[in-house]
Each structure stands twice: as C-alpha cells, then as structure tokens.
Amino acid sequence: MSSKKFLKIIITAGPTREPIDKIRFISNQSTGTLGFELAKEARKRNHNVILISGPVNLKTPKKVKRFDIITTIDMQKEINKRFAWCDCLIMSAAISDYRPKRYISGKLKKKKSQISLKLVRNPDILETLGRTKKDKVLVGFALETDKLIQNAKSKLKKKSLDLIIANRKSSNMNPFGKNKIAGYIIDKQLKVKKFSNISKSQLSKRLLDSIEELCYT
C-alpha cells in the first residue's frame, strides 16, 4: 500500500462474554472505550471503519458501521466475514482466552459447597489471521502484570503483528474505562515508543499515525 488513500479498517472493542448458564458468564473489565475512540478518530481522518463490539454501554461513532457480538466465537465469525475487505485490523477487544466446556441450558443451582467448572481454549483470532494476512496491517494489544515489554514482543512475533500496544495492570495503574493510560507502542522491528499518562483519545491519534505511516510508505 504505497499511495495515500482512505483505509478500510476493522476495529474490535469491549469484552466478550462466555456463558456458563442462562444467568452467568465469564468476562473481564473492558469497557470498550479505547476501541470506540479509535473508531471515532479513524472516521475523523475519513477512513472507512467497521466496529465489532462486545457488550458495552457506548454510543456508536458517526458514520461507523457497528456489529455487536457476545462470545469470542461470535467475534471470530464477524471478523472472518469481513477480513478480506480491510487494509487493517485493530484488535483492541479484550476477548476471553477460555470458555466453559459445557453450557447449562437452565440456571446452575446452589446444591454443593464447591463446584468445578471445566474450561476449554478459545481460538486465537490474531494468530490465525497472522498466518494469511499478506499485506494487511495487524495491530494487537498486550495487557500484562509483569515482564511487560518482553511478553509484548513475544506476542508480536508469535502472531505476526505489525504493531502491538503494551500496557500494565497493577495496584496503581488501571487501564480500563476513561482512565488515562501509559505503556508502549512496539513495531515489528521491535522498536519501542513510550507513552505516559495520556487519554485514550490521545493514544488513538498516536496509534493511527503509526498505522498510516505503515500503510503509506
């Protein structure tokens, strides 16, 4: 992609939910804020944007096509339908690595003092797409509690990503919601750019600058 043009971008956002029964599910703390800010900023730059979102309480940015999903398998299906269309996939959703092996069709009753919940691995969407991406730009995220840069670089190489955003969850740093965020943008040459205590709107601008640089050079 050498000549400048409006890009076709798929952005994923929010959490996924993996149902245990009709009432309960496995999920995480993601609010979808960053993914929606990325969609808003990409539209400001006149890129074509598809937003695939897990369950969140956020308004769809103007002129963005949005598709809602629940589970990681749902997310994979929606991405696969549209991956051939895009120039870039930004995987900012916090998808579940595991799901319950067995879904209980009713409500799990409180009968015992302990129960065991068997989990199975969900598909690794980015790793699968990385094998066949060709000239598409793949962007991933790494939220870690330790060995942040080391783990992020390993994930970038394993999944054939072009960029990865690495940030930390700790007692004094909560990256979820509208909180400010700190971390690193790492490219496939393993160059590291640090960002400190910026809003998710500001991070969206920096990340899209990096994506456009990759696509237009």
**Mind spelling out the 3-state secondary structure of 82-148?**
HHHHCCEEEECCECCCEEECCCCCCCCCCCCCCCCCCEEECCCHHHHHHCCCCCCEEEEEEEECCCH
Angle between helix 33-44 and helix 200-216 axes, rounded to 10 deg: 50
Q: Which residue among the candidates 28, 48, 151, 179 is catalytic per the annotation?
A: 28
Contact between 90 and 140 (Cβ < 8 Å): no
DSSP secondary structure letter of residue 202: H
Please give the Cα distance from 174 to 150 (Å, whole number): 20
Please give the Cα distance from 96 to 111 (Å, whole number): 28
174 is catalytic: no
Q: Which helix (H) or strand (E) holds 200?
A: helix 200-216
Tokens of 216: 């237009």
Contact between 155 and 142 (Cβ < 8 Å): yes
Q: Which residues are catalytic?
A: 28
